[in-house]
Amino acid sequence: MNDHSTHIGTLEPQRVYGVLRSSPEGLTATEVTERLLHVGPNRFEVADRFKLLRALVRQFANFFAMLLFVSAIICAIAHRINPEEGMGLLGWALLVVALLNALFSFFQEYRAEKAMEALQRYLPHLVEVLRGGRIVRLSAEEIVPGDVVMLAEGDKVAADLRIVETKDMLIDNAPLTGESAAVRIVARSENKPLAECRNIAYAGCTVVRGTGRGVVFATGLRTRFGRIAHLSQTIRRTASPMEREVSRMIRILTAIACTMGLAFFLYGVSTGKPLWINLVFMMGIIVANVPEGLLPTMTLALVMGSLRMARKQVLVTSLNAVEALGAVHVICTDKTGTLTRNQLSITRMLDPLSGAAISPTREIRLTRLALAASEIRRTGRQILGDPLDVALADHWCSLGQNPPDKLKQQMVRSFAFDVEKRRSGGIFMDNEQPLLVVKGAFEAIRPMLCQVESPKDNPDEAGLADQLTACESTLESMAGSGLRVIAVAYRRLAAAEVDQIRPEEASVAPLEHDLILAGFIGIEDPIRPEVPQAVAKCHRAGVEVLMITGDHPVTALAVAAKAGIVAGHETVHLTGSDLQGLTVDDLAGQIRQGVRVFARTTPEQKMKIVTALKSMDKVVAMTGDGVNDAPALRAADVGIAMGKQGTDVARESAQIILLDDNFASIVNGIEEGRTVFANMKKFTSYVLVSNGPEILPYLLYIVLPVPLALNIIHILAIDLGTDLVPSMGLGQEPADPEVMTRAPRDLGQGLLTTPLILHSYCFLGLFEGIWSLGLFFYVLVDGGWRYGAPLPSDSPLYRSAVGITLATILLMQIGNLIGRRFATRSGLDRGLVTNRLLAAGILIQIIFSWALLYWPPLQRIMGTGPVPFQVYAFAWLGTLALFSVDYGRKMLVKRARKG
């Protein structure tokens, strides 16, 4: 439909069905099939034919890849200068390495993306549609023009709809218009341009309040949202902190490689060495400094971490969110559904004055009144709506009454729950007279009361002030038992008063006065049994837990005590009214003094709490499920949305989605995030250690008249051969038992720190280099070589010396690998066979080190030769020596820390 003088918005609601060839009962299955074939699925994604190609090209844009390509070009130049040195073959080898590295990283990202897409199917965008007179829930992709869609608060509009029925509905059109103010939706016709009509709900926008019904008139790319998506260019996402840290690490290592290579190239030129020798040397220094296998190993670690999180019911929306969760200092959690089961049940209905249970007749009447201020709908036999309203409906049925949806026939108006006012309302006909009902928090209803209802056989003659005091006592007694307490009040209306409320009016405020309190309803939501243990685990890990809820303070404190967030006798808390009077600095001070429970808060006040925590330099994780939680989820360092009860808006605003809405899953995610970061540091350190013995031969070669102990092909065999599987094994190490007993890491602590560089290069790397070069010169001298004498690269003696050097590095990397498993423990106490990749890596190193020396086919490829067995045994001794000196360092550090 175009914006002409006559369009879908100018039609009266009853005419909309005819124009769109639909009916108030919805489409039939045959009509849906025909229209789906004609217009296609309701998808908004613009086909990106070059997405995979761009992802592949991106793998060649990092410093490592570019450095390898430049190195390959230098090798080609050197080959032209001196073809006998075989630099051309090395150039092809470097080119293949760069290609394989890029393809591996591309494959891992592609695999991760496909895995995330598969996991997202657990959380489909479901829509309630009326088909054949029945409400069904189906994927948004399945709706077609003419479908009748039911909308409720928190729903994302799945297609362009002409609204035909509405109750207090507000829609946020910010995704299309940029306007922050929500638009009030009406059902009546409007003689305006289509874009200005208030009876249209556009795809991509969100229902902020109320309910409604609309008929689909555009789907997919035919919607207003779809047309914009079709015209827009692909938006590049900004780099995450982890991506920036990896980029920084790559730049540092590349700078080290290039600086050393260029410096010694110039030194060689100044000392009169041949150009091709200087080129070979420079290439060796560069390749030795670049850990070619590090990037794909990091990608694999994040991919596997995200998949392990998914098995723990934690879905991450991007790979870098895996590590982000591990850095959290504070968790701000909701109560209902996260700490509790969100399985509400009505357990008590009490007289507000006496606190005694009410009679069965009065219980039926109180439930009926509460249902009048509720919003429920039926899908087959299932009742849908707010969990509290569903619990009331279930209780109504348990009392032997008619299905609750039959009560709608007596309804005149309903007013959706107002988050700020903390109450909902409704008007229904009671004995031919309109009756206003308000249900919600007692504090919100108390100022509007004029009377408290008493049993007819026991009237209460006390004044209103005394009655309210008695009510407060009953309320605190119920809340102290951990019950959520709902107050229900009513007032009979005159017909003229009902007429004053216009159909589009969303507020019942003009009628909310002189109410009579009918009773208190106690709702129990049992705490999840695993929550106390999870909270205790957080406390041991130095992660603070704050509970933010809209419930009564006494209820909140009771639940917080059961969860272990506060001590059982603690009463310190802040309410929403307290928060209004505090500045951010004041609030931060209250949190420092130990406030852990926030009651009677609104979703907007979550933002203030997040701001206060971030002003304290805390990394904040915030849970949320509603539309109004979206700003707080975006403001937090890690936004966590509920997968079951959460709205689409909350999910899209979050970085983490809990598939089971369980607080314990957050703690599991934190443990996994810490483990991923710790493992990344482990294999980074492991890989950098081998750089030391790879660089040292080239430094000696350029400054002393000695043979070169390692060729570039040997370095690549280590970095992309024998080191790769052990690195992956370290990336798959299970969580350290102590990982959740330490405080969160300092945000300034990156992957590549000064202590890690010194430990890798100057301690273990230097030790490994000295031991391996010692055996290199031992074999040379024992074979008759003398200092300064030239030695052909194809001589058996040189091949044997090179072979033992490479074999020694491989074997000593086993000691390095075991030592990297723990920062303060030996690494043997966990057992090597518990990590299959680690065991496979060790086996590869052992077999490869033996084959280098004693298997002719590999000798010919690698240019190595055999050595006496006692020399090979001495190489094995290097494994024990490196492991021992590293373990001794750990013990000294551990003793120093204790001291």
pLDDT score, position 243? 61
Which tens digits make up the pLDDT trace of 155-188?
889 899 999 998 878 887 766 665 556 788 899 8
Backbone angles phi, psi at 178, to 5 degrees: 80, -5
Amino acid 308: pLDDT? 83
Residue 438's pLDDT is 94
* Res. 760 pLDDT band, cuts 50 70 90: very high
User: What's the pLDDT score for residue 786?
Assistant: 92
Q: For residues 8 and 214, is the Cβ–Cβ distance under 8 A?
A: no
β-pair type (345-350, 376-379): unpaired
pLDDT band at 18, cuts 50/70/90? very high
- Report the alpha-carbon distance of residue 347 to residue 355 in Å, rounded: 14
Task: Give, for 589, the enclosing helix (H) or strand (E).
Answer: helix 584-592
Asked if residues 661 and 643 have their Cβ atoms less than 8 Å apart, the reply is yes
* Mean pLDDT value of segment 73-85: 71
CA pair distance 525, 483, nearest whole angstrom? 7
Q: How many residues can be counted in the chain? A: 899
Nearest alpha-carbon partner for 821 in 742, 897, 735: 735
Quick check: 22 pLDDT over 50?
yes
What is the pLDDT at residue 846? 96
**Gyration radius (Cα) of the chain, Å:** 35
H or E segment and range at residue 131: strand 126-131
Q: Please report how the helices 63-81 and 87-120 are oriented relative to each other, as an axis angle in degrees rounded to 10.
A: 160
pTM reported for the whole predicted model: 0.69
**What per-residue confidence (pLDDT) applies to 73?**
79
CA distance 148 to 98: 55
Residues 365 and 396: beta-carbon distance below 8 Å: no
Give whole-number Cα distances, 160 to 5, 214, 575, 627, in Å: 19, 9, 40, 20
Give the model's pLDDT for residue 555: 85
How far, in whole angstroms, is CA 644 from its chain's centroid? 15
Question: CA–CA separation, 181 vs 177, rounded Å?
Answer: 10
Q: Is there a contact between 840 and 833 (Cβ–Cβ < 8 Å)?
A: no
Q: How far apart are CA 877 and CA 883, in angstroms?
A: 10
pLDDT in tens, 522-546: 988 888 889 999 999 999 999 999 9
* pLDDT tens sequence across 854-870: 999 999 989 999 999 99
pLDDT at 677 over 80: yes
Q: Report whether 662 contacts 699 (CB < 8 A).
A: no
Which percentage of the chain shows pLDDT scores above 90?
A: 33
Of the two residues 47 and 705, the one the predictor is more confident about is: 705
Q: Say what the alpha-carbon torsion angle 771, 777, 778, 784 is, to the nearest 10 degrees.
A: 180
Q: Is the pLDDT of residue 402 over 80?
A: no
Average confidence (pLDDT) over 580-585: 91
| 12 and 189 Cβ atoms separated by less than 8 Å | yes
Give φ, ψ of 3 to 5 degrees: -80, 65
Q: What is the mean pLDDT of residues 737-762?
A: 82
Average pLDDT, stretch 821-844? Answer: 87
- Alpha-carbon distance of 466 to 472, in angstroms, equals 10
Q: Which pLDDT band, with edges at 50, 70 and 90, does 47 fall under?
A: low
Q: Reply yes or no on whether the pLDDT at 235 is more than 50.
A: no
Give the pLDDT confidence score for residue 405 in this predicted structure.
65
Among 437, 421, 420, residue whose Cα is nearest residue 429: 437
Q: What stretch of H or E contains 417?
A: strand 411-418
The confidence band for 229, taking pLDDT boundaries of 50, 70 and 90, is: low
DSSP secondary structure code for residue 764 in this structure: I
Is residue 418 part of the annotated active site? The answer reads no
pLDDT at 264: 79
Q: Which letter does DSSP use for residue 183 in this model?
A: E
Q: How far apart are CA 651 and CA 624, in angstroms?
A: 9
Question: What is the 8-class DSSP label of residue 426?
Answer: E
Q: Which one of 334, 351, 525, 886 is the catalytic residue?
A: 334
* Beta bridge pairs of residue 523: 346, 484
Q: Catalogue the E-assigned strands of 515-558.
A: 515-524, 544-548
The answer for residues whose C-beta is within 8 angstroms of residue 340's C-beta and 6 or more apart is 525, 526, 527, 528, 559
User: pLDDT tens, 278-327?
Assistant: 777 777 777 777 776 677 777 777 777 878 888 888 888 766 677 778 88
Which residues, including other chains, have CB under 8 Å from residue 41's CB and lie 6 or more apart?
Answer: 141, 142, 220
Lookup: tokens for 870: 């006692």
Contacts of residue 470, Cβ cutoff 8 Å, sequence gap at least 6:
352, 353, 354, 452, 462
Tokens, residue 635: 């403001």
As a whole number of angstroms, the distance between CA 806 and CA 881 comes to 17
What DSSP line would sit under 626-673, residue for residue? SGGGHHHHHHSSEEEEESSS--HHHHHH-SEEETT--HHHHHHHHHHH
- 60-69, 396-405, 760-769, range with greatest mean pLDDT: 760-769
CA atoms within 13 A on the CB side of 465: 0
Give 448 or 720, the one with higher predicted confidence. Answer: 448
Cα 91 from Cα 870, distance rounded (Å): 36
Instruction: Using alpha carbons, select from 377, 307, 443 the residue that is nearest to residue 137.
Output: 377
CA distance 376 to 363: 20
Residues 512, 542 contacting (CB under 8 angstroms): no
Give the per-residue pLDDT at 619: 87
Residue by residue, DSSP assigns 673-711 as HHHHHHHHHHHHHHHHHTHHHHHHHHHHHHHSS---S--
Select the more confidently predicted residue: 243 or 299: 299
pLDDT band at residue 403 under the 50/70/90 scheme: confident
**Residue range 772-784, pLDDT digits in tens:** 999 999 999 999 9
- Give the residue carrying structure tokens 């009756």: 435
For tokens 């030996």, the residue is 826
Summarised one tens digit per residue, pLDDT across range 629-662 is: 777 888 888 888 887 766 666 777 788 888 888 8
Mean pLDDT, the chain, whole residue set: 83
pLDDT reported for residue 64 = 66
What is the pLDDT averaged over residues 741-764?
A: 83
How far apart are alpha carbons 366 and 364 in whole angstroms?
6
